[in-house]
């Protein structure tokens, strides 16, 4: 059981679930958004999202077995604790559950086309693991777009179907805020994917992958990552000045848990060169992504006197 939990990245799934829960109950409800799904329906949306995400982790590990034998042999699960056949079966079952729930929700909302979201996400995760991750940068961008899309899912299933001339203003405002969070998630996850490529360069090279570090080397890739890292810092600085400046608590939170770790990351990535350096920086970015996204639950304090 423990091996299966590790395979589906249980801690990441909890993070996804927490983010989606905060969006509905500490964001939509607090600001009086008109929503379409009941609590039970929203739980089903979370479950479908978790199933598709978990299937992505499984198929990625299946295709990464040879590289992981070199990159992280101590954490190798498939072929060691779980057979490849069982992992493939799990991938299929998770997708069936996720797409089936998606089909039910799409019909519940009278938006049958919404099921394509889950089918497309599942297919893209498979293509990423089997082929797209071999293409420099493109694979990093696509997986980061999927991470960002998770933040927008509640808007697609809750806000858009309920929009009317009476609530258009508040629905649009809440969507624009979620879009800002999605951009943040995209940028931070893109940095993390690129750092993980640096971390896994040895195994990736031995299995014939053509990631950016393999093509350009550690130093040049570090500089590219550094330049991309300027974007979220600049965006957060602007956002904080425009929207958060009057709220001391949110400013302190942003500086302490997001801006400071990003600045630390920028300093350390410039001189990173060993696997342990990149492992540490990957963890820092995960920390930033976590505290960045859960801050959606604090957004209500912006409008308190």
Q: How far apart are CA 107 and CA 232, in angstroms?
A: 38
Q: Is 272 exposed, middle or buried (0-12, 13-18, 19+ CB in 10 A)?
A: buried
For residue 130, pLDDT over 50 is answered with: yes
User: What's the half-sphere exposure (Cβ side, CA atoms, 13 Å) at 267?
Assistant: 6
Q: What is the pLDDT of residues 34-74, one digit of tens each?
A: 999 999 999 999 999 999 999 999 999 999 888 888 888 88
Confidence tier at 86 by pLDDT (50, 70, 90) = very high
* Greatest mean pLDDT range, 30-34, 77-81, 141-145: 141-145
Q: What is the pLDDT of residues 264-302, one digit of tens each?
A: 999 999 989 899 999 999 999 999 999 999 999 887 766
Q: How far apart are CA 20 and CA 208, in angstroms?
A: 37
The number of domains in the chain is: 1
Q: What is the reported pTM?
A: 0.94
- List 82's β-bridge partners, or say none: 78
Burial 216-246 (b: 16+ CB within 10 A, else e): eeeeebbeebbeebebbbeebeeebeeebee
Cα–chain-centroid distance for residue 264? 21
Provide the pLDDT for residue 303.
58
Length of the chain as a residue count: 305
Structural domain harbouring 174: 2-303
Residues 281 and 188: beta-carbon distance below 8 Å: no
Distances, alpha carbon 154 to alpha carbons 22, 176, 285, in Å: 11, 13, 24
């Amino acid at each position: 059981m423990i091996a299966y939990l590790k395979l589906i990245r249980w801690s990441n799934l909890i993070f996804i679930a927490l983010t989606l829960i905060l969006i509905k109950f500490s964001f939509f409800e607090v600001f009086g958004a008109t929503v379409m799904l009941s609590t039970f329906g929203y739980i089903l949306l979370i479950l479908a999202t978790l199933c598709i995400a978990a299937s992505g982790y499984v198929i990625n590990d299946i295709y990464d077995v040879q590289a992981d034998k070199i990159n992280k042999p101590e954490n190798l699960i498939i072929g060691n604790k779980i057979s490849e056949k069982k992992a493939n079966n799990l991938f299929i079952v998770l997708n069936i559950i996720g797409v089936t729930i998606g089909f039910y929700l799409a019909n519940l909302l009278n938006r049958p086309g919404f099921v394509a979201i889950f089918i497309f996400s599942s297919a893209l995760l498979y293509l990423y693991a089997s082929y797209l991750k071999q293409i420099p940068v493109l694979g990093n961008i696509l997986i980061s777009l999927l991470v960002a899309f998770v933040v927008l899912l509640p808007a697609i299933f809750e806000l858009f179907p309920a929009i009317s001339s009476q609530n258009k203003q508040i629905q649009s405002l809440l969507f624009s805020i979620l879009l800002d969070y999605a951009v943040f998630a995209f940028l931070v996850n893109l940095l993390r994917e690129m750092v993980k490529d640096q971390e896994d360069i040895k195994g990736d090279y031995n299995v014939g992958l053509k990631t950016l570090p393999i093509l350009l080397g550690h130093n040049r890739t570090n500089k590219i990552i550094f330049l991309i890292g300027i974007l979220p810092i600049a965006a957060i600085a602007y956002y904080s000045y425009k929207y958060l400046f009057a709220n001391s608590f949110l400013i302190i939170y942003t500086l302490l848990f997001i801006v400071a770790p990003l600045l630390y990351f920028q300093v350390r990535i410039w001189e990173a060169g060993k696997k342990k350096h990149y492992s540490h920086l990957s963890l820092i970015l995960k920390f930033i992504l976590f505290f960045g996204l859960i801050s959606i639950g604090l957004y209500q304090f912006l409008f308190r006197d």
